[in-house]
């Protein structure tokens, strides 16, 4: 359903602030920030964030399609987004992701790096609050949706935190980790709750679980067959940052993101091409690409490849280029 209601922007500061904040809960943020932490901050921090993010997002997406609470009516609200309007509203997965990522990053780094506790807590609170408020401003969620999403995410963080070290150890050392990391997400994707009409939630869930699966296999392989690419002291948050440090940080990020985006484009084209040949549909047939037998393998293979490249191939490339 498209949004046809016209609107006039009267405050461009709020408009661009909350449009930008909304993007902090979408793929463009995940595909940049999560790899950035792996390449430039700390492997253990990145692992914990990715695992928490994938669990929280899966529960949030499934909850939407089980509860089936509608989004706010327009009018009276003005909706500034189109794509997610087809999804149900409760809980807000933007609020869940923002809360999970910001506070898991804060919790994972507070004991490893020297920075003021109050500053880290305030940064996590401001980040998650901006994303939550953006969902109200853009007309995509009610206050209850946002509060519910943030609370569910907080509860899951509290429940997962005591098991962080155990889960991390198993993912790095268990011989069954690669099989578990691929099979379980695939089963969850293929058995996603069915709706009476198409919603992007299943595709988005497959994207998230695929990326986490590829990254998890990468974590395991790195621990089994390669020395850690970056010591935990490779980048210490704090000021002032030296020019040489910033150059290496930006170089690692630029090289990595180019590889990640190229991988996504190549794998998407290849997998869609093979599936189009198998099921006899043109690549531009959007309805065909939404079918279960097409959407799940195409997105899972594409994004698991992205996760694997980001955690295995990109670090090797960094080492080859002397960027460590």
Supply angle C-alpha 179, 180, 185, rounded to 5.
Answer: 110
Complete DSSP assignment for 203-222: HHHHHHHHHHHHHHHHHHHH
Beta-carbon contacts of 11 under 8 Å, excluding residues fewer than 6 positions away, are: none
Whole-number Å distance between alpha carbons of 147 and 143: 6
Tokens of 162: 């005591």
Burial 268-277 (b: 16+ CB within 10 A, else e): beebbeebbe
Residues annotated catalytic, as ranges: 94, 141
**210 HSE (CA, 13 A, CB side):** 26
Q: Rg (Cα) of the chain, in Å, rounded?
A: 20
Cis peptide before 76 (omega within 30 of 0): yes
On whether the CB atoms of residues 57 and 96 are closer than 8 A, the answer is yes
């Amino acid at each position: 359903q498209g949004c046809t209601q016209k609107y006039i922007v009267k405050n461009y500061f709020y408009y661009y602030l909350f449009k930008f904040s909304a993007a902090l809960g979408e793929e463009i943020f995940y595909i940049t920030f999560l790899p950035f932490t792996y390449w430039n901050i700390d492997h253990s921090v990145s692992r914990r964030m990715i695992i928490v993010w994938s669990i929280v997002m899966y529960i949030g997406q499934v909850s939407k399609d089980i509860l089936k609470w509608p989004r706010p009516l327009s009018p009276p609200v003005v909706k500034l987004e189109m794509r997610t309007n087809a999804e149900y509203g409760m809980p807000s997965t933007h609020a869940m992701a923002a809360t999970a990522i910001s506070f898991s990053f804060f919790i994972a780094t507070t004991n490893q790096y020297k920075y003021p506790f109050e500053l880290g807590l305030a940064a996590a609170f401001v980040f998650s609050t901006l994303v939550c408020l953006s969902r109200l401003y853009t007309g995509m969620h009610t206050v209850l949706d946002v509060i519910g999403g943030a609370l569910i995410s907080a509860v899951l963080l509290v429940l997962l935190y005591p098991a962080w070290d155990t889960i991390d150890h198993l993912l790095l050392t268990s011989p069954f980790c690669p099989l578990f990391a691929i099979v379980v997400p695939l089963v969850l994707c293929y058995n996603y709750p069915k709706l009476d009409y198409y919603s992007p939630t299943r595709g988005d869930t497959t994207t998230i679980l695929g990326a986490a699966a590829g990254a998890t296999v990468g974590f395991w392989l790195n621990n089994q067959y390669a020395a850690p690419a970056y010591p935990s002291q490779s980048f210490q948050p704090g000021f002032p940052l030296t020019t040489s440090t910033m150059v290496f940080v930006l170089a690692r990020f630029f090289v990595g993101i180019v590889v990640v985006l190229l991988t996504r484009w190549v794998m998407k084209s290849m997998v869609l091409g093979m599936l189009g040949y198998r099921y006899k549909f043109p690549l531009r047939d959007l309805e065909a690409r939404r079918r279960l037998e097409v959407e799940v393998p195409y997105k899972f293979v594409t994004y698991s490849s992205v996760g694997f490249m980001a955690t295995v191939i990109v670090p090797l490339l960094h080492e080859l280029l002397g960027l460590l």
